[in-house]
A = this chain, B = another copy of it.
Amino acid sequence: MVPISEHNKTHLEKIGLPPGSLKFTGRKKNEKVKVIVIDYRDADFEENEVLTISKLETYKESATSSWINVDGLHDVEILSEIGEIFGIHSLVIEDILNVNHRPILEEYDDFLFFTLKMLVIDEKNLIQSEQVSMILGKNWLLTFQETEGDLFDKIRIRLRDTQAKIRKRNVDYLFYALIDIIVDNYFLVIENFKEAIESIEDKVMLHSDKKYLIEMQKVRKDLLDFRKTLVPLREALIDLRLEKTTLISNKTTPYINDLHDHTLYLNESTEFLQESLNNILDTYHSGIANKTNQIMQILTIYNVIFMPLMFIVGVYGMNFDNMPEIHTKYGYYVVLGVMLIIVLSLLRYFKYKKWL
């Protein structure tokens, strides 16, 4: 999860620069910016790496569907060149470069701009977040990623298949398919949270240890971060639904509705998980209170049993001259017996009171 301070740092670095000045705000994640174009239309299919940016011009007006994917955002020059070719406002390029931008949909005259987080769970079971931006034009789709994403490979494989439905559709369907695969991965993240929470719940049910509380707080924080990504995404998808743009055809609209439905479900699940965390916290606090009670009970039982005994032995430890019991033959044994009876009666009483 990208920590909150990242965005601020971006701003700190940029305060004083004129608005709209381009500066990459992430860490440089791969060596070279890689631009790959997939150009397709029914039977035709072409996949090339573009080395000279100016060649992209040909794809802008062509009748075929073109997907131009840019891996790596650190070369500001390349991005602004692409921006100029496709007629993109400098503020949009600035938003693409800002890897901590909140998910948003913006409609411009000739294109739609959509940015969201791609969340992937790595080998260490941590959530890795990457900013993905998309610009949907008439027959072209620009996508921008920080690193070469393997998530999009699944789409590439489908695109290469001549029979695939995706080949028969326009670029707006591709636009949908890419968002869909990203949103589908959010279910994995939710699943991950769910497992973490259930594991904590099981442990807290047994024992209220402070380290579980710290784990809980960590998960709660991550969940909050996740929700901060999810809520604006849902809003952006509502905007996409309501957008009366010609860029998205009627045939693709039901898929967009479906996407929106998924984010609704994700959102409800997140709220469910937060509610679960609250319940675990209740259990935790109650566990601590119970433990205090139990300790107190032991202490009290001990005192209640031993105090009268110690009083009795104290009495016969007194040095009075005239204490007839002391001089009887079986006095000692009688006292021991009396104490035994006291102990047994008290134990019975505690058993009756269900303290033991």
A interface residues with partner B (beta carbon < 8 Å): 4-5, 7-9, 11-12, 14-16, 18-20, 89, 91, 102, 104, 106, 154, 158, 164-166, 176-177, 180-181, 184-185, 187-188, 190-191, 194, 205, 210, 213-214, 217, 220-221, 224, 228, 231-232, 254-255, 257-258, 261, 264-265, 268-269, 272, 275-276, 279, 281-293, 295-300, 302-304, 306-311, 313-323, 325-332, 335-336
Contact = CB atoms under 8 A, between A and B. Distances in A.
Contacts of A291: 293
29 contacts: A4-B272, A8-B190, A8-B191, A18-B165, A19-B177, A205-B214, A213-B286, A217-B279, A228-B268, A231-B268, A296-B300, A298-B300, A299-B303, A302-B303, A302-B307, A306-B310, A310-B310, A310-B311, A310-B314, A311-B313, A313-B314, A314-B314, A319-B326, A320-B325, A320-B332, A320-B335, A321-B328, A322-B328, A322-B330
Nearest to A181: B15
A102 B269 CA distance: 11
A210 to B, nearest CB: 5
A289 B289 contact: yes
Q: Which 6 A-B pairs have the closest CB atoms?
A: A313-B314, A316-B318, A320-B332, A11-B187, A306-B307, A317-B317
Nearest to A21: B165
Contacts of A8: 187-188, 190-191, 194
* A interface secondary structure, majority: helix
A231 B228 CA distance: 18
Nearest to A176: B19
Contacts of A306: 307-308, 310-311
A257 B318 CA distance: 89
Given A19-B258, A188-B12, A293 B290 contact: no
